[in-house]
């Protein structure tokens, strides 16, 4: 008669180890372990804003206060931008008309930060479609502007 208790116990331990490893990977990717998964939220935010109707092509927040946000019109119609707000600071001084695929860069002091510090700011863009006259505000559906403060 063969003794299979040892084999069954070994198989159980191997399956348990694989489940624990998979769980740790999922927790790390979702940001549950500080420092390991923190980039996932930034990539998700950047992905959302890159494909929005009025997209954020690039952005940067610096300790010097010369913060920049570049937007792009991804719509099929020209738009008039009346507000570009980051962290509650409106960077649009008047109104800007953007044709299809047009871009505009805004500068200003969004927030005080320390170089190397991570930031997460709400964004809001208000624009009017020039063909339909419809005014829309994009607030990101929870997607924040995320990154690291530069010098």
Stated pTM of the model? 0.71
Q: How far apart are CA 58 and CA 105, in angstroms?
A: 9
* Residue among 127, 122, 88 at smallest CA distance from 104: 127
Helices of type H across 52-129: none
Q: Sketch the domain layout of the chain as residue ranges.
A: 1-36, 52-148
User: Which CATH number is 52-148's, of 3.90.1170.50, 2.40.50.660, 2.60.40.1940, 3.40.640.10?
Assistant: 2.60.40.1940
CA 15 to the chain's CA centroid: 36
Assess whether pLDDT exceeds 60 at residue 29.
yes
The number of beta carbons lying within 10 Å of the beta carbon of residue 74 is: 15
For 79-107, write each residue's pLDDT tens digit: 999 999 999 999 988 899 999 999 999 99
């Amino acid at each position: 008669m063969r003794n299979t208790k040892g084999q069954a116990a070994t198989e159980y331990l191997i399956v348990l180890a694989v489940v624990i490893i998979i769980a740790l990977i999922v927790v790390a990717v979702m940001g549950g372990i500080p420092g390991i998964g923190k980039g996932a939220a930034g990539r998700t935010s950047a992905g959302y804003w890159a494909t929005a109707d009025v997209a954020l092509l690039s952005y940067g927040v610096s300790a010097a206060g010369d913060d920049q946000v570049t937007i792009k019109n991804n719509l099929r119609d020209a738009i008039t931008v009346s507000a570009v707000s980051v962290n509650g600071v409106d960077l649009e001084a008047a109104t800007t008309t953007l044709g299809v695929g047009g871009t505009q860069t805004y500068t200003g002091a969004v927030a005080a930060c320390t170089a190397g510090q991570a930031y997460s700011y709400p964004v809001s863009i208000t624009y009017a479609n020039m063909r339909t006259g419809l005014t829309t505000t994009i607030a990101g559906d929870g997607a924040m502007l995320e990154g690291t403060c530069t010098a």
